[in-house]
Amino acid sequence: MSDTSGAQSEITIACIQMEPIVGAKQANVAKSLEWIGQAALNGARLIVLPELANSGYVFRDRDEAFALAEEVPTGETTAAWIDAARRHDIYIVAGIAERAGAALYNSAVVLGPSGYIGTFRKVHLWAAENLFFEPGDLSFPVFKTPIGRIAAAICYDGWFPETFRLQALQGADIVCVPTNWVPIPGQEPGRPAMANILHQAAAHTNSMFIACADRVGTERGQLFEGQSVIVSCTGWFVAGPASRDREEIIFGRVDLADARRKRNWNEFNQVLRDRRTDVYDEMLGSEIKRGWY
């Protein structure tokens, strides 16, 4: 099925839940390529990898982070992922440690069959990330592709409703979230991750799909949450939650054009147009230009 712009909107999304090892960049990239190949063989057209999938996450110091970072899009990791996107005719959103001159960013690259599409830099830094990375300076870009309008966010960005609202106002159909969620204090055993609840709410209140690829394992004493999910624009799960402790792929078949159709909830209500911009600033004080919705 195609939407009115001619984009192929009905696709299979895959979120790869894997365990990168800090410092083992070549092995991490090789593992990611194996998982990407497996997802593509199972029909995935859009594939999401975890946060900092090539480098690992818990750095000892900034020197270690800098040594593992690469320029985007000219670095070897991005080049390997671009090659995979071309070979498999797929789109990839993947977390990477980005070096830009002397600055470091916790970034996500957006890649497709024709090569590099764009970069998102994590806006809201978590804990010790503030010692290594600069806050993202590219705002909240939305990338127009043949399969739909793709945006990205990274981990802690998901705790801020402004992230998803500004992307929705630019017409994003899906937000891909490379993430490294950690357990939230007070979380009782067996209960869903707080992150899952937050992303269900964001998908529902903005009428957009959200695909979250988390990592698993324990790295230098830090446990990660797993539970990767793909959420419909209605707020209900399309796939997942995945396990808390296993490497795996979750798949979801979606029609991205539904994100636009279902913004009209009934004959009276449209979730973005109903906003009271006489009461608050339409674009939340951002210089972002409103997109079609």
Give the residue numbers marked as catalytic.
Answer: 51, 122, 155
Of 64, 128, 120, nearest to 96 (Cα)? 120
Q: Strand 103-112 vs strand 91-100: parallel, antiparallel, or unpaired?
A: antiparallel
Place of tokens 């997109």: 291
Lookup: tokens for 4: 């009115």
Report helix angle 76-88 to 25-41, nearest 10. 10
Of 268, 198, 261, nearest to 231 (Cα)? 198
171: amino acid identity, one letter: G
Place of tokens 């990338």: 143
What is the Cα–Cα distance from 135 to 130, expressed in whole angstroms? 8
What is the Cα–Cα distance from 111 to 122, expressed in whole angstroms? 17
Of 122, 127, 191, 204, nearest to 155 (Cα)? 122
Q: Where are the beta strands (DSSP E) in 52-172?
A: 91-100, 103-112, 115-121, 142-145, 148-152
Which residues have a Cβ under 8 Å from the Cβ of 152 and sit 6 or more positions away?
93, 108, 110, 120, 175, 176, 177, 178
Long-range CB pairs of 138-141 (<8 Å, 24+ gap) are: 139/166, 139/286, 139/287, 139/288, 140/166, 140/167, 140/170, 140/286, 140/288
